[in-house]
Amino acid sequence: MNIRTMAEMSGAKALMDSLEKEGVDIVFGLPGGANLPIYDALVDANFRHVLVRHEQSAAHMADGYARIKRKAGVCLATSGPGATNLITGIATAYADSSPLVAITGQVPLNMIGKDAFQETDIIGVANPCTKYAFQPRHATEIPEVVKKSFYIAESGRPGPVLVDIPKDVQQEVTEIKFPDLIKVRGYKPIVDPDLSNVGKAVELLVSAQRPIIMAGGGVILSGAFSELQALAELIMAPVVTTFKGKGAFPENHPLAMGPIGMHGHAEANRIILEADCILAVGARFSDRSVGRFDEFGKGMNIIHLDIDPAEIGKNKSVDIAIVGDVKSALRTMVKMLSKVAAKKSSDNQWLKRRKELIDYFSQNIKDYPRAMTARKALKKLRELLPAESIVTTEVGQCQMWTSLHFDVIAPGTFFSSTGLGTMGFGFPASIGAKAARPDVHVVDVAGDGSFNMTENSLAVSVLENLPVLVFLLNNDMLGMVAQWQRTFYDRRYMGVHQKSCPDYVKIAEAYGANGLKVQSMDELEKAIKSALRTEVATVIDITIDPEEDVYPFVAPGTGLKDMITGA
């Protein structure tokens, strides 16, 4: 055993060294009684610590960082309430398959089970929303546990892992060994796809008259952007995405159709009904994407490619299933396709139909003839924002408007809480994204309701010099709930009015950020330009009409064919 891999140190120091060995350059956290030894060791650590104002935001920041870096983000919290505050962030990462390593302090081993102060069974709490949860009981276990945590979080279908370290284990000083290799015998992620199934899929795609590609979040997670584009161009298939897959394919590409789903693009929701063969790539047929499971894909051949075998047949039975890494499988498909068939012509009936649908729906979606709408604001943002900028959203109408009216051009520059739908996610996540890519602009498209939930992260944005632009579509409402109450509950509003409280300009200024209130398109243009120029955390508070609904709309429990366009 050489000296570098073995030394006497505390569990907390072993944790720092283990994180360094994993290449961690930033952690987001908040200290408390049960993780004080970790915070003491952080003083001498060679990576950055970002102090948050609420643990939920620490998890979202680490998640946002992870989605852009495509490696695990790290967050820290103390035991009890610190740990439970992380849970919403951990569940968000779990629902969106984002790699996260959450490290919590725990009461000392001899206090566990005694209902001690700030004790909570966080292993039990985290179980349903983590890939795994560890509780090392000796300092010597820490290096191995950390290495396993990163391996599990980042490999296969990524996801969050919790490491819960009792305080005395953090303090224990002992000989610590750092392993080079670890083995998790019950964990065998499948990477290489079964070639015979890939071959069958290729045959089916070549013979299809009306093929369509449905790209999901798996494309983004595996970074299979160029492979997806090559495949689409070879078979000349229109590409729809799920909402999580938004930005997997450049939305200004001649084959792009945008997201499908409850608030998908009308032409995307329509064309997928007319296809004869669907290639679903890294997608999980969620209810929000496909509407009714029983109706979706009827009479079509469905090819499903996903890294998680449990996704095959979970919501939708399919004709051909390929389990494996999306990037590697798509690369193989492109290779096979280049051999068997010449590139299809772009002059065919199917692509004409695509154009027809786009033209039709550009005229037949409810529009709001007002001077200032969310739609116009987002189009203006797109116009002024460089293509490589990163955009995230809060949850609700602001999120769905972004899906509809903001085209993602550079693949992998958009993300949102699509699975759990966590209000308050976007702002801290955008700060995490900024930490991952300080060289580009980062924008959080927010609503007033969501922004209110984690707006205290303004302190982090300002103090840590992680400036993001909060593009606040302010309708003074919990707008999506209000839209449902308007649509399904006969306008009987309950619990949706925000009553102009707080004043977001003052909130921004109170934290040392810029606050700009805009009420016209002219003011908006000036505000965006100024925010992009100054690179200071900025909240642009954009007044929009509270009656502006999101259309199209596929009501819950109905199928894509029942889409309401509002026109």
Catalytic annotation, residues: 55, 117-118, 167, 480
CB of 326 to other proteins, least distance (A): 18
- Under the phi-then-psi rule, with left for phi > 0, alpha for psi from -120 to 50, and beta for the rest, what region is 236? left
Q: How many CB atoms lie within 10 A of CB 299?
A: 7
Instruction: Report the alpha-carbon distance of residue 199 to residue 208 in Å, rounded.
Output: 14
Tell me whether residue 55 or residue 325 sits nearer to other proteins (CB atom): 325
DSSP bridge partners of 105: 165
CB of 201 to other proteins, least distance (A): 20
Tell me whether residue 151 or residue 350 sits nearer to other proteins (CB atom): 151
| DSSP conformation class of 4 | G
CB of 145 to other proteins, least distance (A): 13
CB of 304 to other proteins, least distance (A): 13
CB of 122 to other proteins, least distance (A): 12
Q: Please check whether residue 14 is in contact with residue 142, taking contact to mean a CB–CB distance below 8 angstroms.
A: yes
Read off φ and ψ for residue 22, nearest 5 degrees: -85, 0
Q: Please check whether residue 60 is in contact with residue 68, taking contact to mean a CB–CB distance below 8 angstroms.
A: no
List the structure tokens of 360: 């039709």
Burial pattern 208-242, b for ≥16 Cβ within 10 A else e, equals bebbbbbbbbbbbbbebbebbbbbbbbbbbbbbbb
Tell me whether residue 187 or residue 360 sits nearer to other proteins (CB atom): 187
List the structure tokens of 60: 């979202």
The Cβ-side half-sphere exposure at 463, using a 13 Å CA radius, reads 12
CB of 157 to other proteins, least distance (A): 9
Instruction: Report the alpha-carbon distance of residue 47 to residue 341 in Å, rounded.
Output: 51
CB of 156 to other proteins, least distance (A): 9
Q: Which amino acid is it at 496?
A: V
Beta carbons within 8 Å of 315's beta carbon, 6+ residues apart: 284, 285, 286, 287, 290, 293
Burial (CB < 10 A; 0-12, 13-18, 19+), residue 196, is exposed
Residue position matching structure tokens 């300092």: 139
Tell me whether residue 187 or residue 493 sits nearer to other proteins (CB atom): 187
CB of 184 to other proteins, least distance (A): 6
List the structure tokens of 391: 């955009």
CB of 160 to other proteins, least distance (A): 13
CA distances from residue 245 to 186, 192, 249, 350, 363 in whole angstroms, order as listed: 30, 22, 8, 23, 26
Tell me whether residue 223 or residue 309 sits nearer to other proteins (CB atom): 309
Residue position matching structure tokens 């990037």: 327
Residue 14: which of 234, 186, 163 has the closest Cα? 163
CB of 15 to other proteins, least distance (A): 21
Tell me whether residue 207 or residue 317 sits nearer to other proteins (CB atom): 317
Tell me whether residue 185 or residue 492 sits nearer to other proteins (CB atom): 185
Q: Please check whether residue 502 is in contact with residue 355, taking contact to mean a CB–CB distance below 8 angstroms.
A: no
DSSP bridge partners of 28: 50, 75
Tell me whether residue 82 or residue 159 sits nearer to other proteins (CB atom): 159
Tell me whether residue 152 or residue 322 sits nearer to other proteins (CB atom): 152
Question: Alpha-carbon dihedral of residues 62, 63, 64, 68, nearest 10 degrees?
Answer: 100
CB of 71 to other proteins, least distance (A): 20
Q: Please check whether residue 166 is in contact with residue 123, taking contact to mean a CB–CB distance below 8 angstroms.
A: no
Tell me whether residue 67 or residue 148 sits nearer to other proteins (CB atom): 148
Tell me whether residue 184 or residue 567 sits nearer to other proteins (CB atom): 184
Residues of this chain that interact with other proteins (CB under 8 A) are 123-124, 127-128, 131-132, 152, 184-187, 308-310, 312-314, 317
Please calculate the CA angle 241-244-247 and round it to the nearest 5 degrees. 60
CA distances from residue 101 to 63, 150, 164, 228 in whole angstroms, order as listed: 9, 7, 11, 29
The Cβ-side half-sphere exposure at 148, using a 13 Å CA radius, reads 20
Q: Please check whether residue 35 is in contact with residue 170, taking contact to mean a CB–CB distance below 8 angstroms.
A: yes
